[in-house]
């Protein structure tokens, strides 16, 4: 395994404060009851349009879209932070000579801005988001566009994510996949909704167990 591809939200970074705040803003603009932080977090996955559909329904999601996007762009970095073990695992994988990339259904420019703010952007050979190509996860064309830029074989890669969308993305190009429960899904939900056999509580445990980082991972 020479290449590791990460999802962004819920895998590498916690951006839920800005997401929840923007959802609640859109609800206020439409005179709707505000969803709790936990309700919003559990609805995230697959890109913001799907999140809006889950929380507003198809008809109101269209009306909520502009309110959400405007607020989110203004508050993108609010509360954003790297998830536990992310920085350490990235450093270890780089030291091992692994090629690293990000594949996300977040807007590509927003993803790069967040990673630049966290001083992590230079760690990745490529950061692919929606609007960088005509595709999005789990469409195999999206993953293949990234693999082409990386000059990587999917069988020589590992995709690390936190949702059924990530597992399906990997399956669609026959790529190994590990999932973490630091996003919107619990371990029980991931086992019910996917056939993934490698599910970890966070990147620390994934690094220790799946990527054989011990004893280097003692600092994690």
Domain boundaries, the chain: 3-14+80-219, 16-74
Q: How is the chain classified by DSSP, letter by letter?
A: --EEEE-SBTTTEE-HHHHHHHHHHHHHHTT-PPPPHHHHHHH--S-HHHHHHHHHHHHHHHHHHHHHHHHHHHSTTTT-EEPTTHHHHHHHHHHTT-EEEEEEEEEHHHHHHHHHHTT-GGG-SEEEEETSSS--TT-HHHHHHHHHHHT--GGGEEEEESSHHHHHHHHTTT--EEEESSSS--HHHHHHH---S-EESSHHHHHHHTS--TTGGGG-
Residue range 119-175, pLDDT digits in tens = 999 999 999 999 999 999 999 999 999 999 999 999 999 999 999 999 999 999 999
Residue range 106-120, pLDDT digits in tens = 999 999 999 999 999
The pLDDT, as a whole number, for residue 220 is 43
The pLDDT, as a whole number, for residue 218 is 43
- To the question of domain 3-14+80-219 being in CATH 3.40.50.1000, the answer is yes
Domain 16-74, CATH:
1.10.150
């Amino acid at each position: 395994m020479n290449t590791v591809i990460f999802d962004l939200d819920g895998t590498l970074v916690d951006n839920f404060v800005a997401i929840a705040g923007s959802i609640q803003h859109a609800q206020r603009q439409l005179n709707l009851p505000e969803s709790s932080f936990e309700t919003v977090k559990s609805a995230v996955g697959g890109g913001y349009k799907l999140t809006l559909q889950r929380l507003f329904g198809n008809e109101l999601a269209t009306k909520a879209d502009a309110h959400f996007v405007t607020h989110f762009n203004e508050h993108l970095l609010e509360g954003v932070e790297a998830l536990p073990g992310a920085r350490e695992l990235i450093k270890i994988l780089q030291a091992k000579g692994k090629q690293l990339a990000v594949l996300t259904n977040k807007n590509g420019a927003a993803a790069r801005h967040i990673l630049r703010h966290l001083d992590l952007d230079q760690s990745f050979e490529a950061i692919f988001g929606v609007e960088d190509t005509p595709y999005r996860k789990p469409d195999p064309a999206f993953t293949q566009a990234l693999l082409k830029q990386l000059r990587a074989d999917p069988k020589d890669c590992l995709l690390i994510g936190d949702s059924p969308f990530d597992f399906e993305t990997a399956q669609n190009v026959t790529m190994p996949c590990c999932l973490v429960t630091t996003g919107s899904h619990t371990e029980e939900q991931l086992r019910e909704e996917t056939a993934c056999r490698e599910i970890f509580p966070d990147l620390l445990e994934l690094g220790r167990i799946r990527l054989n980082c011990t004893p280097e991972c003692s600092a994690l």
